[in-house]
A and B are shown apart, each in its own frame.
Chain A
Amino acid sequence: MRTPSRLLTSRLLALALMILLVTVLAIVSLLPQGSLLLTEGAEAGRPFRTIVAVLLAAGAVAICAALVVQVRSLMRQTRRVVAPRLSGREPLVRTECVEAALTARGWRSQQLPDVDAVAFHRHPWSRWAGVALHLGLLLVMLGMSSVLLTESRSEYTLREGDVLDASAQPTMRFQAQLAPGIALDDALVLNRVDPVYWSTGELRSLDSEFRDTESGQILRVSVNSVTRWSGARLFQSRVYGRVLDVRIASPELAETVYRIEIESVPILGMPAYRDLEIPGIPGEVRIRSIETETSTGIVPEVTVRVEEDGIAKGQGTLPPAGMVTVAGYDMTLEGYGYWQTIVLVRQHGAEALIAGTFIIMISSLALYFLPSATVYVVADADGHRLILAGSRLARAAFKPDVEALLKECG
């Protein structure tokens, strides 16, 4: 056990792992975005995925073992300690006795340069904060590994009125090695999508309202919050847009209703475009939609332009209830609504990761921002005198210890 343990916490291994990880990550960053983990069938990232996973696992264990000792020592290593001035009223002590007693109680001694004085340092919460920091790091690593190994993720594009159930086809799916997959037992209907804009026209919030078909329960899913449903977590993506039902008719073309989806620009009044080819219509049909706020709510203003070889054959704006003829085709806007993208995630370990981060934050604060207490043993003409210094909190924490010490060594 001793040799593997030494190897794991060896300085050279830690250094080598960090440098290797930096190199691999620098290469990874040059790969197309998302090719490493999230996209299905991303072959480019496959060899790196294993290398990064192995390096991260080994590095995590090694760094975890070394980190607390390493960073805690920073403050000690660099602090310049100067012996305090004596007033002559400080109690006299026997140096050897003080040194033995404080060392036995975990105080760290430091010989001060150029003077006959020794400083002993101890942090009031070092022991507990050190343990907590370790625990936090372990929780983060466990949570991260668990999420990476057990995550199932599916992304769905739903229109208002669509049903999210077992038969819904995801537009993207990712399943980690140990993930059980997402089996949807219940069904949700997307009642409506509700974008809200700032007065400047920028998107302020985007909510989707779902209804559980069995229980009738209403679920609201918002950007930047997690909604739990049927053992999974629902995340609202910021991607949304308009669904337009346009009826097109002409003497040569059978009357058909086309469902056209346009991704919205998340700014009110900015046009969004969609170019499409419609069988029977020569050339290209270019749709432009602008969201405008009216007394009845936010409505799209839809303009259709028919182009052939880059030359406009006709253009017209579709009235909300009425018909317009563009390049000889009668077009009617029969209805409109929203579509949006929602991400369904099932994973284990997210709570551990968040809890670990909290613990790291609090323990780092305790460890690195609360100063240590220092006991100085300084020589003068009468012998060696003892002074307890440090912040009020640190002095209060060690006052009983020092009083006991004075009885023992005074």
Chain B
Amino acid sequence: MQETLLALDPRLHVVALVGYALAAGVGIVTVVTRRESWRWTLAMSGFALAVHSAGLLTRWIGSGHGPYLTRYELLSAYAWASVVTWLIWSWRDGRLRPLGAVVMPVVMLLIGLGLYTGPEVRMLPPTFTGIWLTLHVSFYFVAFATGLVSFGASALIIARSLGTSLAWAPPADDLDGLAYRSAGLAFSFWGVGLLTGSIWAYYSWGRFWGWDPVETWSLITWLVFGVYLHLRRFYAWRGARAAVLMVACFSLALLSLFGTSLFTSTVHSEYFS
């Protein structure tokens, strides 16, 4: 039974990848043809999300643990959280649907990278137990997803400032507001993820903070998000200037989530492989 589920999971991920690719394609066609309707993009995304959720669930049942151990699992979970966040935002405010044109390609990339690294299953090591770990990774998933929405909005602001018409995109003020609001959420979630991670580290290693490169860069990212919010709130940074900073913040977030454990020796490398 377990083996069947684990064999099914990568296939479901491939189907989800195709679904997201179609959603991204339809989204881009909608953009190019300047049509108003995002119904097909949403329908494709919804279908891909359902298959993706099934994939994650079968893996969860098959491996006996949540999607937080291998790179394949983490990338898939980050992608899933991003799609859910975008769909919720789009459902609440229909004007934000065109953000899918930025979110979907990133989601595709994440799942593609995950499949490329391989869906091998690893069993949970002794340190990977407890509620603090679950909270730690869950908050980072949501922080990444809200950060991606902010990045998407900022990317559109930059594209518009470079002379692209982007008639299909939401008004500049709405994008600016969305980038700010979602960055605020990413900042909050990232902060709580950092704190819950330090409590998990305490239970695992007997220390809250060890200046591990992943920990340090995670703190740096959180602070840089803080600088962005501070500049917006108190120094009236708006438009393209703030958007460029947001893109830098999100790049830093990517570096600290995926890059640090690759380039440096860290206690996280052992797991995130």
Partners in one complex: yes
B233 CB–A CB distance under 8 Å: yes
26 contacts between A and B (CB under 8 A): A11-B230, A14-B230, A15-B235, A18-B226, A21-B223, A25-B223, A70-B229, A73-B233, A77-B177, A79-B181, A198-B123, A200-B123, A202-B122, A202-B125, A204-B125, A204-B126, A223-B204, A224-B126, A224-B203, A226-B202, A343-B205, A343-B206, A350-B202, A357-B199, A360-B192, A368-B188
Complex CA distance for A73 and B268, rounded to whole angstroms: 35
Residue in A14, A37, A360 whose CB lies within 8 Å of B211: A37
Q: Is the CB of A18 within 8 A of B126?
A: no
**Which of chain A's residues have a CB closer than 8 A to the CB of B202?**
226, 350
Residue in B177, B203, B208, B212 whose CB lies within 8 Å of A144: B208
B200's nearest neighbour on chain A, judged by CB, is A224
How near does chain B come to A39, taking the closest CB pair, in angstroms?
Answer: 10
B185 CB–A CB distance under 8 Å: yes
**Which of chain B's residues have a CB closer than 8 A to the CB of A238?**
125-127
A69's nearest neighbour on chain B, judged by CB, is B233
A331 CB–B CB distance under 8 Å: no
What does the 1/0 interface line of B116-136 toward A look like (CB < 8 Å)?
000000111111111000010
**Which of chain B's residues have a CB closer than 8 A to the CB of A74?**
180-181, 184, 229, 233
Residue in A19, A223, A353 whose CB lies within 8 Å of B126: A223
How near does chain B come to A235, taking the closest CB pair, in angstroms?
Answer: 4
B227's nearest neighbour on chain A, judged by CB, is A18
Complex CA distance for A226 and B233, rounded to whole angstroms: 42
User: Which residues of chain B have a CB within 8 Å of any CB of chain A?
Assistant: 122-130, 135, 174, 177-178, 180-181, 184-185, 187-188, 191-192, 195-196, 198-199, 202-213, 216-217, 219-220, 223-224, 226-227, 229-231, 233-235, 264-266
A233 CB–B CB distance under 8 Å: yes
B256's nearest neighbour on chain A, judged by CB, is A29
Query: Contacts A26-B220, A202-B123 known; A18 to B230 CB distance under 8 Å?
Result: yes
Q: Is the CB of B192 within 8 A of A364?
A: yes
Chain A 124-155 interface residues, beta-carbon cutoff 8 Å to B:
140, 144, 147, 153
User: Which residues of chain A have a CB within 8 Å of any CB of chain B?
Assistant: 11, 14-15, 18-19, 21-22, 25-26, 28-29, 33-38, 45, 63, 70-71, 73-75, 77-80, 140, 144, 147, 153, 198, 200, 202-206, 222-226, 233, 235, 237-238, 266, 343, 345, 350, 353-354, 357, 360-361, 364, 368
Dominant secondary structure of chain B at its interface with chain A: helix
Complex CA distance for A345 and B208, rounded to whole angstroms: 12
How near does chain B come to A130, taking the closest CB pair, in angstroms?
Answer: 14
How near does chain B come to A137, taking the closest CB pair, in angstroms?
Answer: 10
Q: Is the CB of A78 within 8 A of B177?
A: yes
**Which of chain B's residues have a CB closer than 8 A to the CB of A237?**
205
- Seed contacts A63-B226, A223-B127; 12 additional CB < 8 Å A-B pairs: A11-B235, A18-B224, A22-B227, A70-B233, A74-B184, A78-B180, A79-B181, A198-B123, A202-B123, A225-B203, A226-B206, A357-B195
**Which of chain A's residues have a CB closer than 8 A to the CB of B230?**
11, 14-15, 18, 70
**Which of chain B's residues have a CB closer than 8 A to the CB of A198?**
123
Query: Contacts A144-B208, A153-B207 known; A25 to B229 CB distance under 8 Å?
Result: no
A345's nearest neighbour on chain B, judged by CB, is B206
Complex CA distance for A238 and B58, rounded to whole angstroms: 30
Q: Is the CB of A364 within 8 A of B210?
A: no
B265's nearest neighbour on chain A, judged by CB, is A33
B189's nearest neighbour on chain A, judged by CB, is A364
B235's nearest neighbour on chain A, judged by CB, is A11
Q: Is the CB of A34 within 8 A of B130?
A: no
B174's nearest neighbour on chain A, judged by CB, is A80
**Which of chain B's residues have a CB closer than 8 A to the CB of A26?**
220
Query: Contacts A29-B216, A203-B126, A204-B123 known; A354 to B188 CB distance under 8 Å?
Result: no
Residue in A35, A226, A364 whose CB lies within 8 Å of B188: A364
Q: Is the CB of A33 within 8 A of B212?
A: yes
Complex CA distance for A11 and B234, rounded to whole angstroms: 7
How near does chain A come to B174, taking the closest CB pair, in angstroms?
Answer: 7
Q: Is the CB of A22 within 8 A of B212?
A: no
Residue in A28, A226, A353 whose CB lies within 8 Å of B208: A353
Residue in B125, B187, B206, B210 whose CB lies within 8 Å of A233: B206
**Which of chain A's residues have a CB closer than 8 A to the CB of B219?**
25
**Which of chain A's residues have a CB closer than 8 A to the CB of B220?**
22, 25-26, 29
A35's nearest neighbour on chain B, judged by CB, is B211
How near does chain B come to A212, taking the closest CB pair, in angstroms?
Answer: 20
Which 6 A-B pairs have CB atoms at the shortest separation, nearest pair first? Answer: A235-B206, A78-B177, A74-B184, A223-B126, A11-B234, A198-B123
**Which of chain A's residues have a CB closer than 8 A to the CB of B208?**
144, 147, 350, 353
Q: Is the CB of A266 within 8 A of B187?
A: no
Complex CA distance for A34 and B207, rounded to whole angstroms: 12
How near does chain A come to B265, taking the closest CB pair, in angstroms?
Answer: 6
Q: Is the CB of B123 within 8 A of A33?
A: no
**Which of chain A's residues have a CB closer than 8 A to the CB of B231?**
15
Complex CA distance for A77 and B180, rounded to whole angstroms: 9
Q: Is the CB of A33 within 8 A of B213?
A: yes
Complex CA distance for A73 and B198, rounded to whole angstroms: 28
How near does chain A come to B79, taking the closest CB pair, in angstroms?
Answer: 23
**Which of chain A's residues have a CB closer than 8 A to the CB of B224?**
18, 22
B187's nearest neighbour on chain A, judged by CB, is A71
Residue in B178, B181, B192, B223 whose CB lies within 8 Å of A22: B223
**Which of chain A's residues have a CB closer than 8 A to the CB of B174?**
80
**Which of chain B's residues have a CB closer than 8 A to the CB of A36?**
211
Complex CA distance for A147 and B209, rounded to whole angstroms: 10
Complex CA distance for A34 and B210, rounded to whole angstroms: 6
B270's nearest neighbour on chain A, judged by CB, is A238
Complex CA distance for A190 and B208, rounded to whole angstroms: 26
Complex CA distance for A18 and B230, rounded to whole angstroms: 10
Q: Is the CB of A29 within 8 A of B213?
A: yes
Query: Contacts A11-B230, A25-B220 known; A206 to B126 CB distance under 8 Å?
Result: yes
Q: Is the CB of B130 within 8 A of A224?
A: yes
B194's nearest neighbour on chain A, judged by CB, is A357
**Which of chain A's residues have a CB closer than 8 A to the CB of B125?**
202-204, 238, 266
Query: Contacts A11-B234, A360-B192 known; A28 to B206 CB distance under 8 Å?
Result: no
A29's nearest neighbour on chain B, judged by CB, is B216
